[in-house]
Amino acid sequence: MAPAASRRRARVAIIGSGFSGIAAAIALKKRGIEDFTIFEQSPGLGGTWWHNRYPGAEVDLESHIYSFSFERYDWSRTHAGWQELQGYLEHVARKWDLHRHILFNEKVENVTWSDPNHDYVLSTESGVDHGRFTAVVSAVGFLNIPLYPPFAREQTDYQGALCHTSRWIDGLDMTGKSIGVVGTGSSAVQVVTEAEKMGSEVKIFQLEPNWILPKGSRDFTENERKLNRLAPVYAWRRFKLYTGYDMRQYRASHARSDGRTNRIKREQSLAFMQRELGDRPDLMELVTPTFAYEARRTVVSDTYYAALKSPKVTLVPHGVKGLTRTGAVDANGDEHDLDIIILATGFDAANYLGNYRVTGENGADLHTQWEGEPEAFLGTMIPGFPNFFMMYGPNTNSIPLVSFYEAQADFTASLIARAAKKGKTKISIRRSAFLIYNDWLQDALRKTVWATTRNYFQAGSGKIVSQWPFSATAYITLTKVLRRPAVKLDN
């Protein structure tokens, strides 16, 4: 028993101040827990939307659904750009008085559990003693460690500007420049559109093409914005979007090759390709994927195919194998002179919590326990690591993301509050619940198209570690139904 800890009120550390960190903080406030500190390694809040500031950066989901259900906003576009999303998060943080809880430029390095005290100590880069915390909420997500290709991992002779999309060089001007874009994923298609407008030439280095659907992104009209300011209209539009995504993902219809949603979306993608590039059979051949629809992240863009047809744009059907002083060498051995090289190469997605170390009961190291295959109960809790919760953890990547954040925040805050109310000092997931849940989930995931090809959803072993295969409602229901039988509170 930990008598000193049992009499102490909840004191919580939240790591990260993006969407999920803000969701966790507000959920704690709603439960009456005000003693929490948010550790943010960057100079400002926002997480993804603080770092991803490249030209054209925009969310793939509609603004009304990529926002908190309890915080409306006067959105200017159907799909918000990074500046507007950053503004929204600042607005929410101010309204809920979160800034006084945030420590900026404070990078967490270690999270260590104390067996005698039943609490955690966090060590940070600054070396400041932050005291002890009864619980820790990790809100760092999983798309946060930029993945650099081999040719860009060490010092090179390249004299131009080289940057990853999530580490954009402040003030970098593409006007009149020869630009190389490495990759063809979601961030790549956005930056290509802007590069085509501004640059003198754009070369896209493609390893493999992706399935693409039109996005339907546009500015709202003034009349639409007036209507959106009405609470019932706003709620109705959000509800329609939520229900639409829920129906598409019912019984993993979107992620099974025989699923109705999967078949419909594949046909729509092919029709879009034909409509945009039907007069360019050379490009059609280069951009048609050979893997199953949805087996990798499907890209949404209204403008990418049109940009490909620009005389300024060249689609190079090879990756980059090296850099020269003046540009890049592709896998075919051809050299390309480039003023700017943009790495749209994604993230080390399977490396959950890769920015810091977590030590649990009996000195157990979380990454050693995972052995390269991250897993958790509902993506939030791991046996042997009591009072430690994850937001957007393993196997919770799905649509609509913010609905998942809210469910995870409520799950976490409710358990922390219940433990405090009952005078309990230790919140643990039952190992049996953890094993049964993950066996069931992996069995479902093996039947999806995600298991048919290599993608960033998988660990090195091929195990799918990021995706949730069903609807948001199914997940939210489980967080409510399972929280009491699966979790135990002890002293």
* pLDDT per position as a tens digit, 336-387: 999 999 999 999 999 999 999 999 999 999 999 999 999 999 999 999 999 9
Q: Are 310 and 167 found together in one domain?
A: yes
Burial per residue of 56-67, b for 16 or more beta-carbon CB atoms within 10 angstroms, e otherwise: bbbbbbbbbbbb
Exposed (0-12), middle (13-18) or buried (19+): which is 219, by Cβ within 10 Å? exposed
Of the three residues 290, 317, 343, the one that is the final residue of a domain is 343
Domain count, the chain: 2
Q: Are 140 and 154 found together in one domain?
A: no
Q: Are 141 and 233 found together in one domain?
A: no
Mean pLDDT of the chain, nearest integer: 97
Q: 257 lies in which domain range? A: 150-221+223-343
Q: Are 427 and 461 found together in one domain?
A: yes
Q: Which of 6-15, 292-301, 457-466 has the lowest mean pLDDT?
A: 6-15
The model's pTM is 0.96
Tell me what pLDDT residue 7 has.
Answer: 54
Of the three residues 297, 320, 343, the one that is the final residue of a domain is 343
Nearest CA to 216 out of 268, 155, 279 is that of 268
Q: Are 317 and 191 found together in one domain?
A: yes
Other C-beta atoms closer than 10 Å to the C-beta of 5 total 20
Gyration radius (Cα) of the chain, Å: 23
Q: What is the CATH number of the domain that holds 32?
A: 3.50.50.60
Let me know if residue 55 belongs to a domain. Answer: no
Share of the chain above pLDDT 90, in %: 98
Let me know if residue 212 belongs to a domain. Answer: yes
Let me know if residue 164 belongs to a domain. Answer: yes
Of the three residues 311, 343, 375, the one that is the final residue of a domain is 343
Let me know if residue 128 belongs to a domain. Answer: yes
CB 171 within 8 A of CB 340: no
Would you give the DSSP letter of residue 250?
A: G
Condensed to tens digits (0 to 9), the pLDDT of residues 42-66 reads 999 999 999 999 999 999 999 999 9
CA 272, 273, 276, 278 torsion-angle sign: negative
**Bridge partners, 138 (sequence order):** 15, 390
Other C-beta atoms closer than 10 Å to the C-beta of 289 total 18
Q: Are 13 and 154 found together in one domain?
A: no
Condensed to tens digits (0 to 9), the pLDDT of residues 248-300 reads 999 999 999 999 999 999 999 999 999 999 999 999 999 999 999 999 999 99
Let me know if residue 56 belongs to a domain. Answer: no
Let me know if residue 292 belongs to a domain. Answer: yes
State CA 479 to chain mean position distance: 20
Distance separating alpha carbons of residues 148 and 54, to the nearest angstrom: 16
Q: Are 199 and 138 found together in one domain?
A: no
Residue 88 in this model has a pLDDT that exceeds 90: yes
Q: Are 322 and 426 found together in one domain?
A: no
Let me know if residue 80 belongs to a domain. Answer: no
Q: Are 129 and 193 found together in one domain?
A: no
Q: Are 186 and 303 found together in one domain?
A: yes
Q: Are 238 and 171 found together in one domain?
A: yes
Q: Are 291 and 174 found together in one domain?
A: yes
Condensed to tens digits (0 to 9), the pLDDT of residues 298-338 reads 999 999 999 999 999 999 999 999 999 999 999 999 999 99
Tell me what pLDDT residue 2 has.
Answer: 47
Condensed to tens digits (0 to 9), the pLDDT of residues 162-198 reads 999 999 999 999 999 999 999 999 999 999 999 999 9
Let me know if residue 72 belongs to a domain. Answer: no
